[in-house]
Amino acid sequence: MAERALERRRYETLSVIVPVYNERATVAEVIRRVRTVDIPLRVDVVEVDDASTDGTDKVLATIEDSTVRVMTHERNQGKGAAIRTGLVHAQGDLLLVQDADLEYDPEDWPRLLDPVLRGKAFVVYGSRFTGERKNMLPLHWVGNRFLSLVTNLLYSSTLSDMETCYKLFDRRVLDGITIVSNRFDFEPEITAKVLRRGFRIYEVPISYAGREPDEGKKITWRDGLGALRALIRFRFTRDF
């Protein structure tokens, strides 16, 4: 397996990629929480504003400093595109995606990091279905469970939450992987490519405070269909 070729290492920096689109009300609080997490690593935060139109850019301008860098897209491209931009600028030997909507709490970072720092994993996902949570909407619950089941059938995995936004990687795992998805299909694409390269994904329980559409929830059933198409596409494509 590919992970057997990687030597265990001493990690120094965690790069946190924060894709942001129209999160004026929550992004400052997310960064406040990020700054208070106690972990034994230097934290490098890369915010990517995906052409927000609600004044998010003004909030980001007030919180940018030596540890928080802000990149800006001139036009809205989607979450996957924002993460790609973040990956280009990230400096860490560990990489983590952190949404800016308060559904995911940075206080869970130590749980995600623990298996990596103890040498038990190179990839860790935070599962919303095994930890404390504010239940998600029924349609989202069914969709997420279905997509995890499809992932397990196609890729011989045992994931409980493929669509989780909390994904932590040893940077070397992503070497040679090209991400092409622009929207929320980033989640199945990166999962498919990591599994096809022979890396096992370690899951840990995380807390989850799901939003509803009137609170700014952006993902819809159409994105679920896109995720299903991506799982099938990346299972059989030669380029991964």
CATH value at residue 36: 3.90.550.10
Classify residue 136: in a domain, yes or no: yes
Classify residue 3: in a domain, yes or no: no
Classify residue 2: in a domain, yes or no: no
Reply yes or no on whether the pLDDT at 240 is more than 50: yes
Q: Provide the pLDDT for residue 7.
A: 79
Classify residue 6: in a domain, yes or no: no
Classify residue 47: in a domain, yes or no: yes
Classify residue 28: in a domain, yes or no: yes
Classify residue 5: in a domain, yes or no: no
Containing structural domain, residue 40 = 11-236
What is d(CA 39, CA 214) in angstroms, rounded to the nearest whole number?
Answer: 34
pLDDT digits 0-9 by tens, 218-238? 566 566 788 888 899 989 876
Reply yes or no on whether the pLDDT at 61 is more than 60: yes
Nearest to 109 by CA among 38, 212, 52, 9: 38
Q: Give 8 or 15, the one with higher predicted confidence.
A: 15
pTM for the structure as a whole: 0.89
- Domains held by the chain: number: 1
Under 8 Å between Cβ of 152 and 160: no
pLDDT digits 0-9 by tens, 155-175? 999 999 999 999 999 999 999
What is d(CA 125, CA 172) in angstroms, rounded to the nearest whole number?
Answer: 16
Classify residue 19: in a domain, yes or no: yes
